[in-house]
Amino acid sequence: MNTKIIVTLFGMMLALALSACAPTGISTGSSPTDANSIQITDVWARTVNLGTMEEETPTTMDKTPDAMGSHAGSAMAQQNGAVYMNIANTGAADKLLKAETDAANTVELHTVVQENGMMQMRPVDGIDVPANGSVQLKPGGFHVMLLGVNRELKAGDKINVKLTFDKAGVREIQAKIRAQ
C-alpha cells in the first residue's frame, strides 16, 4: 500500500518535472486533447411508432391488429429503437462505454451475432474505437439500443444522445430520426 503511494507520487513528480522541461508536455493517453480525436458523424435513429395507428401506415396487408392478439398486445408493450453513427478516431485507441438519451427508459450498447442461423442482439460492455481508425454503428451490427422508447420518433425529429468514451470523455450529439 505504502510503496504503491510512493511509486504513484514519484511518477507524478517525474511527470511534473518532465513537463516543466518540455513545454508541450507528455502525451499521457488521457490528456484533454483526446476529445478532439473522436469525430462522430452520420448520427441517426430509427423511427419509432408508439402503437397509435396512423393513417400513413403504408402496408396494411401484413398487419391486422384485430386478427391477432399478439399484435394487439404489442401495441401496449414497450417499443424499442436504435441509434447508429460513424465514430472516427485520429488518436489512440478509445472505447465507447455508455450511451444515454431521455427518449428511452433504458439505453444499452448492443452488437448483433449470428447463432444457429439466427441474428441475435447481444449487450456489450463497450464498443472499441481503434487508433487512427473508425467503427460504424449500423443496422446488423453495433448499435445504441433504445429500450422502452417514451415518445414518438418521427422522421425529421431529433433526439439528444450523450456518449461516454473511456478517453475522450463525454460527447453530446444529436441523432436525426430516419425511416432507414
Choice between 13 and 113, CB closer to Cu ion: 113
Q: Give the list of residues 6+ apart from residue 96 with CB closer than 8 angstroms, or none.
A: 87, 109, 126, 127, 129, 135, 163, 164, 165, 166
Q: Give the list of residues 6+ apart from residue 62 with CB closer than 8 angstroms, or none.
A: none
Residues that bind Cu ion (CB under 5 A): 110, 121, 145
| Cell matching residue 70 | 399478439
Choice between 81 and 91, CB closer to Cu ion: 81
Half-sphere exposure of 139 (CA within 13 A, CB side): 7
Q: To the nearest whole angstrom, how small is the minimum distance from the Cβ of residue 144 to Cu ion?
A: 8
| Cell matching residue 132 | 487512427
Q: To the nearest whole angstrom, how small is the minimum distance from the Cβ of residue 106 to Cu ion?
A: 11
Q: To the nearest whole angstrom, how small is the minimum distance from the Cβ of residue 167 to Cu ion?
A: 25
Strand 118-123 to 38-46 pairing: unpaired
* Residue 86: closest CA among 46, 122, 127, 121: 127
Q: To the nearest whole angstrom, how small is the minimum distance from the Cβ of residue 69 to Cu ion?
A: 25
Choice between 84 and 165, CB closer to Cu ion: 84
Cβ atoms < 10 Å from Cβ of 59: 6
Query: d(Cα 156, Cα 44) in Å, to the nearest integer?
Result: 10
Q: To the nearest whole angstrom, how small is the minimum distance from the Cβ of residue 49 to Cu ion?
A: 18
